[in-house]
Each structure stands twice: as C-alpha cells, then as structure tokens.
Amino acid sequence: MLNFRLRPLTSLAKVFPDEYPPYMERDSLTALKNEDCAFQVAFSAEYDDARILPVFVKVESDLACTPHIVECIPSDMPVYADHDPYILRNGQPGLYPDLLRPIDAETRVFAPTGQWRSVWIAMPGMKAPGKHTVTVSFFLHSGEQVGSTTVRVDILDAELPEQTLLHTSWFHTDCLSTWYNVEPMSEEYWRITENFARAARDHGVTLLLTPLFTPPLDTREGHERPTVQLVDVTVTKGEYSFGFEKLTRWIEMCHRVGIEHFEMSHLFTQWGAWHAPKIMATVDGEYKRIFGWETDSLGEEYYAFLKAFAAALIPYLKEMGVADRCIFHVSDEPSIDIYEQYSRCAAIVDELFPGFKVIDALSHLDYYEKGVIKCPVPKTPVVEEFIAAGVPNVWGYYCCGQYKLVSNRFFCMSQARTRVLGLQMYKFDLEGFLQWGFNFWYSQLSVHPIDPFRVSDSGYAFPSGDGFVVYPGDNGEPLISLRLKAFNEGISDLRTLRLLESLIGREKTLKLLEKGLDKPLTFAEYPRSEEWLLGKREEINRAIRRALKNN
C-alpha cells in the first residue's frame, strides 16, 4: 500500500525530513517578466516495502522551468549558544535543507518512507506576461503517476529595473583551485572561475573581489593561501615593473558574465593592517615572495612598492575604461584599538590612489567622523547609527557576528529572515552590501580545505552557512543553495520597490512598505513570518499593476 502526499509550497519553505512542513500551501504566485521566481513541492511517501522508493519528476508548463531536488547538508554548529529565538530547530545540530541539485525527467528522486523531501521549481526571467500554469507530477519506475499538483503563475507586464545596489560576496578563487585540483591561472582554472563568476552575477553580485595579489583574508599569521595573484611583478636591479595580462583577462571575463565593478583586494592584512599581503615577484630571474607576514606595512620598502604599483596600475585602469568602477580596500574589520595603525595605512592608500572609492568593513564611527575613511561599511545592527551621523551612500555588511535579531543567511534561519534584507536595504537606501563568503571552502584561518558537503561551519568556526552560499558541482559547475536564492529574491524585492518608486514616488512607496506595521521597519524590527513577507510583496505587485494601468 502506497500513500503519496504532496504539498505545494513557496520558495521560502525549508522542508526537513522528519517534520511535516509547517507552511501554508500555496498554489499561486506573481512575478515580473524578467524576475527569477520559484516554488517548491514537498512530498512524502508511506509504504510497506522496506526498500527506499525511487520516483521521477515531470514538469509541464509553457514557461521555462528547471526542477531541482533539495538536499540536506550536515550542520554541527548551526548557531552560537546565545542565539535569539527566531531560528529553526532551536539551533540544534542535524541535517538542514540547503543544496539545490538539478534533476530531469530521467533522474531518480528518493522518497524514504515517512520522510519529507521537496522539489524546487525554478523559473528564470524573460517570461511572457499573463497567466500560466506549472504542473509537477511524480511517477513510479513503472510509469504509474502517484501524485500531481498545479501552481498558477501570474506574470505582470512590467520589468525589474537594473540593479543599482553594489553587492559583493567575496569570491575565493584559491578555493576553486584547491577543490578542483587545478593550477591557478591554467585554462581549466579560468573556465571554472568564469562558471562561478557567472553564478555570482546571476544571483545579485555586481562587484567581484579581484585578487591583484592573493587576498590577505582569513589567513593564520605566518601561513599563506595558494597564490592567485593577477598582477605580474618583476624586480630588476631594485626597480619594479608590472604586467597586467592576467588582470586584463579577469576584467574581460567579468564583462562577459555581466559584472562591471571591481573590488580590488586589500592592500594590508586583516584585523590590524600590520603587514603586507603575500606578493610574489620574479627577482633577477628568480620567482619568490617579496612581501608578506614578515613585512612592516608602514616600512619604506613596502611604501616604495605601493608607490610604483599605483603609478602603473592607475593608467592601466583608465586605459581599460574601468577606473571609475574600481573600489579599493585598506584592511578588513579593523577594531578601534588599532585606530592609529589603520589611519596611517589608509592615508597611504588615499595618497597613492586619489579619487578612488575606498571601503572597509568597520563599525566604529570614529573612523568616519575623523576623516580616516569616507565610505565605511558598518555591520547591519549599527547601519542606522551611521545614517543618523550623516554618512552618505551608506553600505552594510553581515558575517558570523550578526546572529541576533537581524537578517542573516545561516542554515538555521528561515528563508524569510534571509530575504527580508531586501526591504530593509530599500528603506535605508543602501548603496552597497558586503558579505565575506561566496565560496570559502577552507577551515577558519585557511589552515586546511574542507568538504562543504560535509562541513558547513568551517570546522566549528562559524555558524553553518556563513562561509559559503554555493557548492562545487561536477565539471566545475556551481551548485546553488536555498539561502542564495532567498538573498537574490530579496534583491528582486528591492528592485521591485525601486520600480514602484519610479511610478508613485518614494514617500508613497515607503508608506506602502510599512503599512500595517506596529513599529517602523528597521534592521532588527520586522515581522518574522513568511506570510507577512509574501503578502507585502503581493501588495507591492498590485500597486505596480494599478500604477501602470493609471499611467
């Protein structure tokens, strides 16, 4: 006897194997023509046979649809012990749904008896306006259909405006090289890097971390990460010269995938700016490291190098036509305790790269108020303090430390909590958003590689999901996570609000956004439910439809 159950759910559901999905059934959705959208179908089988039941999934629609099976990934450390109450499973270790693996009609999908699974149905942009249906059916190997459900999709005759938010999710090409066992700068390395860069752009990344030199990020002092340096350095009789052929290839690659902005890797080490990044050079014919942990960041030798480098790089960037789309870094996350050190390093960057935007993740207003940095990137819990202090064009960021009240993207957080950031970024008019881990597949401080399919917390270092939002698939192809989809849906919400603003003005748009709330929307104050978020998006869509009709 087989009892096969189906439940159509939204993209915000996280379906756990041992839990009846506590979500409202949804059999309809609306979206804009060029908006990526998705829904899920949860399924469960009860049967007498001791074997695991394989089923096959068929999707029928006039829309382009790509089905994926949602796979669970182990989480040993979902969140820190003093977490807030707004998490899934009370933050307990276990299996969390996260990985989206593409399937087709020939792919066997397993339904262990008594367990729930889900299929994710992705519908890319460029859809015809009007009403459509998507039917998802499940079949046994014999061809017998055991379940089917149909979801209605209403496509508005409107398009998302171009994304103006500058978004970077740090892109670690050394992790690609390590996982796929390819030599940096080899043809295979470039092919894989482009695949992942395209996936980043397809999911809202517009600013790609560019390794002028191997980025000095999350590296144990005295150790080094694999060399992925794009700039060739030659030292002949004490004189520096530079080759930009690899950087040119990087820029051309980014243009092919649609990335127009470049985030130059940090010129000083993380958490203090005490040293130089690892820099390799050919010195009188010998290839070796010339700067690194042994280098005093404020020493004359490194200053002379940076001066020569800037004198060569700036004309090159102008010749390539990208100078006005390049952003530089001093050092990541400086504490207030190293204010003097950071200030002196920042002054060097300001001197040698005049007119370029310089950003850093830091959350102490002193750095801005004393003129050390013009574009600070504060963590989300204090963004509003920076806005109140008059900081223009504010950015925001989150990482492992932002796990109370605010949005983030850990395994144990709801998809709604991840997605709501889009509405918040609209209200506070953020210019950019930064997160440190698109594909960080190393342990903390890059001591050793990790297998992201088995280790999701960088070796008990960060809550699961903090270090990466993609997985390494076969043949150098990325596999996307539920969390990256939710973040990208948040960016779509932001762009949808921009569209509405262009039709009815910002004041009316903000009023609609906060309609029905007991308190103003902030980064820490927002409704926690899937129903509110999806209901608000439907409300925004209806307002766009009315405005277009009236125009």
- pLDDT tens-digit map of 449-471: 999 999 999 999 999 999 999 99
Residue 51 has pLDDT above 90, yes or no: no
Residue 182 has pLDDT above 80, yes or no: yes
- pLDDT for the residue 282: 98
- pLDDT for the residue 1: 80
How high does pLDDT run on average in the chain?
97
- pLDDT for the residue 551: 81
How many degrees, rounded to 5, is the angle at CA 469 between CA 467 and CA 470? 115
What's the CA gap between 235 and 242, in Å, rounded?
9
Over residues 256-277, the mean pLDDT reads 97
Structure tokens belonging to residue 288: 């070796």
Q: What single-letter DSSP state applies at residue 419?
A: H
SS3 content of the chain, % helix, strand, coil (to 5): 30, 25, 45
Over residues 261-282, the mean pLDDT reads 97
State whether residue 129 is helix, strand or coil.
coil
Amino acid at site 16: F
- Residue 415: other Cβ atoms inside 10 A: 24
Over residues 315-319, the mean pLDDT reads 98
Q: What is the pLDDT of residues 401-437, one digit of tens each?
A: 999 999 999 999 999 999 999 999 999 999 999 999 9
Q: How far is CA 124 from the centre of its chain?
A: 18
SS3 sequence of 303-354: HHHHHHHHHHHHHHHHHHCCHHHEEECCCCCCCHHHHHHHHHHHHHHHHHCC
Question: pTM for the full model?
Answer: 0.98
Q: Report which of 431, 456, 352, 508 is spatially closest to residue 96, judged by C-alpha positions.
A: 456
**Residue 493 belongs to what H/E stretch?**
helix 482-504
Amino acid at site 77: M
Cβ–Cβ under 8 Å, residues 386 and 376: yes
- pLDDT for the residue 399: 98
- pLDDT for the residue 44: 97
Residue 187 has pLDDT above 80, yes or no: yes
Packing angle between helix 506-514 and helix 482-504, nearest 10 degrees? 130
- pLDDT for the residue 295: 98
Residue 513 has pLDDT above 90, yes or no: yes
- pLDDT for the residue 89: 97
- pLDDT for the residue 96: 98
Q: Report which of 421, 35, 356, 323 is spatially closest to residue 202, judged by C-alpha positions.
A: 35
Residue 49 has pLDDT above 90, yes or no: no
- pLDDT for the residue 354: 98
Which residues are within 8 A (CB) of 108 and not within 5 positions of it... i.e. 6 or more apart?
54, 55, 56
What's the CA gap between 249 and 255, in Å, rounded?
10
Q: How confident is the model at residue 497 (pLDDT cuts 50, 70, 90)?
A: very high
State whether residue 135 is helix, strand or coil.
strand
- pLDDT for the residue 48: 85
Q: Report which of 497, 450, 495 is spatially closest to residue 471, judged by C-alpha positions.
A: 450
Q: What is the pLDDT of residues 329-340, one digit of tens each?
A: 999 999 999 999
* Percentage, residues of the chain above pLDDT 70: 100
| Burial group, residue 249, by CB count within 10 angstroms (0-12, 13-18, 19+) | middle
Q: What is the pLDDT of residues 344-401, one digit of tens each?
A: 999 999 999 999 999 999 999 999 999 999 999 999 999 999 999 999 999 999 999 9
- Residue 156: other Cβ atoms inside 10 A: 20
> Which residue's entry shows tokens 């979500």?
23
What's the CA gap between 443 and 445, in Å, rounded?
6
Structure tokens belonging to residue 362: 């830091």
CA atoms within 13 A on the CB side of 299: 13
Residue/partner pairs of 387-394 with CB below 8 Å, 24 or more apart: 387/428, 389/365, 393/431, 394/428, 394/429, 394/430, 394/431
Q: What is the pLDDT of residues 69-86, one digit of tens each?
A: 999 999 999 999 999 999
Cβ–Cβ under 8 Å, residues 134 and 44: no
Q: How confident is the model at residue 66 (pLDDT cuts 50, 70, 90)?
A: very high
State whether residue 44 is helix, strand or coil.
strand
Q: Where are the domains of the chain?
A: 214-367
Cβ–Cβ under 8 Å, residues 107 and 29: no
Q: How confident is the model at residue 488 (pLDDT cuts 50, 70, 90)?
A: very high
Q: What is the pLDDT of residues 86-98, one digit of tens each?
A: 999 999 999 999 9
> Which residue's entry shows tokens 């504010």?
394
How many degrees, rounded to 5, is the angle at CA 508 between CA 507 and CA 514? 95
Q: What single-letter DSSP state applies at residue 265?
A: P
How many degrees, rounded to 5, is the angle at CA 347 between CA 362 and CA 339? 45
